[in-house]
A and B are shown apart, each in its own frame.
Chain A
Amino acid sequence: MLAEDKKRAAFRALEDRILNGEGRASPEQRACAFSNVGLSRPLDGLLGKVATRPTQVTDADFAAARAAGFSEDELFELVICAAVGQSARLYDAGLAALADAVAGEEDG
């Protein structure tokens, strides 16, 4: 692990802001959107697509979430949390695989 990686630090700063900073959606909702776990209907439709099949998001997904009482600003935040959350999982998976590969080389 390199001591100082400004790129990773900047990503963690973004993560920390959207999860723990001030927002219209509650920190609990933002955490669920980020992890794509424990979302209630119909929010799970919109945010699940953002995480795993974003090309399939439609106006109807937003309309369903609005009809369930979520404001546009809450949806703005929750969509961002879902997108950054999936990217964080990819980033972590890549870094873990890299660490494994390097550890293997050092052992061998």
Chain B
Amino acid sequence: MRPDVLNRGYGPGTRLLFALIRLLSRQPVPDAAKLVFYRPDFYGSRAKEFTHEAMRGPSAWSAGDRELMAAYVSQANENAFCVGAHSATARQAYQDEPKVAAVLADLESAPVEDGLRATLRMLGKLTREGKVGAEDMRQVLAAGVSRQQVEDALAVCAAFNTTNRLADAFGFEVLSPEGFEAGAKYLLKRGYR
């Protein structure tokens, strides 16, 4: 990662924890996980709290739906690390690999409910263009999505627009497929806290 302090700026307790994670998962510690341990009082503690609330807090969207939103937003931002991590997590959550692949290949023809499709379309536009209008939102609501569900989806969008930017700026290393699968298993079991 860059700057270099993100590679070497951890205390002995944190380094021991990283060693334990490597031992148990037989995979390198993902840079996304390392980042939240660097000066956690500045960013990591509150970022984890927000991301956990957005991804696993109470919502009419399932964890799988929200992981798919995270992957879709990350694809709009062309962020390979987060697309890899969250498409793996969505696949495991849904137990449906073709569905996740279809959404990322072509949202309009993918086999998902109209409400989820309309929501993903709106999140993609907001992420790419930086704005959406009332008409975009009316289309999502007309597809049967509640106001609270739109708010919940916007929280996922905010969490991943942040993480995508940090992944690019700090240079997160893209993991192997096995590394992403191990990370996905952890995120489904433990969440983001």
Pair from one complex: yes
Instruction: Give residues 1-43 of A contacting B (CB, 8 Å).
Output: 2, 5-8, 10-11, 13-14, 17-18, 21, 23
Instruction: Give residues 24-79 of B contacting A (CB, 8 Å).
Output: 38-39, 41-43, 46-47, 49-50, 53-54, 57, 77-79
Which chain A residues have a beta carbon within 8 Å of chain B's beta carbons? 2, 5-8, 10-11, 13-14, 17-18, 21, 23, 46, 49-52, 54-55, 57, 59, 62, 66, 72-73, 75-77, 79-80, 82-84, 86-91, 93-95, 97-98, 100-102, 104-105
A97 to chain B, nearest CB (A): 5
A50-B169, A55-B168 known; A73-B5 Cβ under 8 A: yes
Q: State the total of A-B contacts with C-beta under 8 angstroms.
A: 150
Q: How far is the CA of A57 from the CA of B127 in the complex (A)?
A: 18
B131 at the binding interface (Cβ < 8 Å): yes
Query: B161, A87: Cβ atoms under 8 Å?
Result: yes
A8-B155, A97-B133 known; A17-B166 Cβ under 8 A: no
Chain A: which residue is nearest B137 at the CB level?
A101
A-B pairs with the 3 shortest C-beta distances?
A83-B165, A101-B137, A100-B134
Which chain B residues have a beta carbon within 8 Å of chain A's beta carbons? 2-6, 38-39, 41-43, 46-47, 49-50, 53-54, 57, 77-79, 122, 126-127, 130-138, 141, 147-148, 150-152, 154-155, 157-159, 161-162, 164-166, 168-170
B-side binding surface: helix, strand, loop or mixed?
A: helix
* 24 pairs, A vs B, C-beta closer than 8 Å: A6-B53, A7-B152, A10-B50, A11-B155, A13-B50, A17-B43, A54-B79, A55-B79, A57-B169, A62-B2, A66-B3, A76-B3, A76-B5, A76-B38, A79-B169, A87-B157, A90-B130, A93-B130, A94-B126, A95-B151, A97-B131, A97-B137, A98-B151, A101-B137
Query: B162, A83: Cβ atoms under 8 Å?
Result: yes
In this complex, the member of B3, B133, B165 whose beta carbon has the largest number of chain A beta carbons within 10 angstroms is: B165
Query: A57, B168: Cβ atoms under 8 Å?
Result: yes
A10-B46, A50-B169, A93-B131 known; A5-B4 Cβ under 8 A: no
Chain B residues with Cβ under 8 A from A14's Cβ?
A: 43, 46-47, 49-50
Chain B residues with Cβ under 8 A from A84's Cβ?
A: 162
Chain B: which residue is nearest A100 at the CB level?
B134
A-side binding surface: helix, strand, loop or mixed?
A: helix
Q: How far is the CA of A47 from the CA of B141 in the complex (A)?
A: 35
